[in-house]
Amino acid sequence: MNCLTIRVPATSANLGPGFDSIGMALTQYVILECERAEEWSFVLQEKDVPFIPKGKSNLIYKSALFTASRFGIEELPPHQITMTNDVPIARGLGSSSTAVVGGIELANQILKLELSDQEKLKIACDIEGHPDNVAPAICGGITVSSYDGTELESVRFSKGLEPLTWIAVIPDYHVETEEARAILPTQMDYKGAVHASGMANVLVAALAEKDWDLVGRMMKKDKWHQPYRSGLIPDFPHVSRVLNDHGSLGHYISGAGPTMIGLFKDASAKQMDSLMDDLPDYQVKILHADLHGVTSTNTAAMNQ
Ligand code: HSE
């Protein structure tokens, strides 16, 4: 029997002031092994069972069906999806985007839709509402995007990211994106918004110039969301201090949190070991930029 394998990277959104716009793909993955079956089902790792539905309410299935419906197709041939998930759920590393992008790619492959990245991105934005996680999950690298519900623009950076290390400091509690969005103000004064967008503009220019010291500085200068959300992360000052003390160029709340990410250039193993020693209550992951985005391969499964 043929087996379709889809791999989707974790993503980190905002990078500080790039709220709902900038995101990057990271070397941590969800892998979906998809085989034809009598009915739809999701086979999960034990740790994910409390959080991910095993049937048709699974976001992967719903995103695949949404994609199919765009092409006038109302039913999908049933598959069993075996999911190997290294992306922690509800921690700000794009777990829901992995499901959305995985589902779109599933429909793309099983219905042979031959979607371009731009077409996948438009569908993903219509599901997720903002492009910052789904764009890098589709294209890899760092993406800067804008979407107003109709018009979608997205630019990808991929060069020069190799020497960088992104240290994810992941606490053992969840923060739901809905909760982290609900605490944000509904309005901002004109002068404040001009200032806040200036910070994001400098961040983008620094990314384009690969001026990593400036990227690090700008990550900390966000005015859109971090000042409000840092209160949801009781250890925000401590983790910030540890990342600073160990030589990060900058750090930020990844997506809606609670994971925090520190940016390092040429980080040594010794430096990382000592950082981990100082954050014993956290999962600390040493990550790099994923440059591929979602991938899929078809293989003939071996006879057992
Ligand atoms: N830009 C989004 C946020 C990412 O910060 O709320 C999480 O979906």
Q: Which of 28, 23, 63, 60 is nearest to 41 (CA)?
A: 60
What residue type is 48 in one-letter code?
D
Give CA 215 to chain center in angstroms. 19
Q: pLDDT value at position 304?
A: 43
SS3 69: helix
Write down the residue that tokens 């979607």 correspond to: 115
0.85 surpassed by pTM: yes
94 is in an annotated binding site: yes
Gap from CA of 75 to ligand 1 centroid (Å)? 31
Going 226 to 232 to 237 to 238, the CA torsion angle's sign is negative
Could you tell me whether strands 164-170 and 250-253 are parallel, antiparallel, or unpaired per DSSP bridges? Answer: unpaired
97 is in an annotated binding site: yes
Domains of the chain, earliest start first: 4-156+290-303 (3.30.230.10), 164-287 (3.30.70.890)
237 is in an annotated binding site: no
d(CA 50, CA 83): 14
The two tokens of residue 132 are 């910052």
| Atom number in ligand 1 closest to CA 96 | 8
Pocket probe for ligand 1: among 11, 130, 144, the residue whose CB has the most ligand atoms within 8 Å is 130
Pocket probe for ligand 1: among 11, 15, 19, 128, the residue whose CB has the most ligand atoms within 8 Å is 19
Mean pLDDT by 10 residues, the chain (304 residues): 93 97 98 97 96 96 98 96 96 96 98 97 96 98 95 94 94 91 95 96 96 96 94 94 95 96 90 91 95 93 50
Alpha carbon nearest to ligand 1 atom 4, residue: 255
d(CA 45, CA 82): 9
d(CA 125, CA 266): 34
Burial (CB count <10 Å: 0-12, 13-18, 19+), residue 88:
buried
Could you check whether the bond before residue 280 is cis, i.e. omega within 30 degrees of 0?
no
215 neighbors 206 (Cβ within 8 angstroms) = yes
2 neighbors 30 (Cβ within 8 angstroms) = no
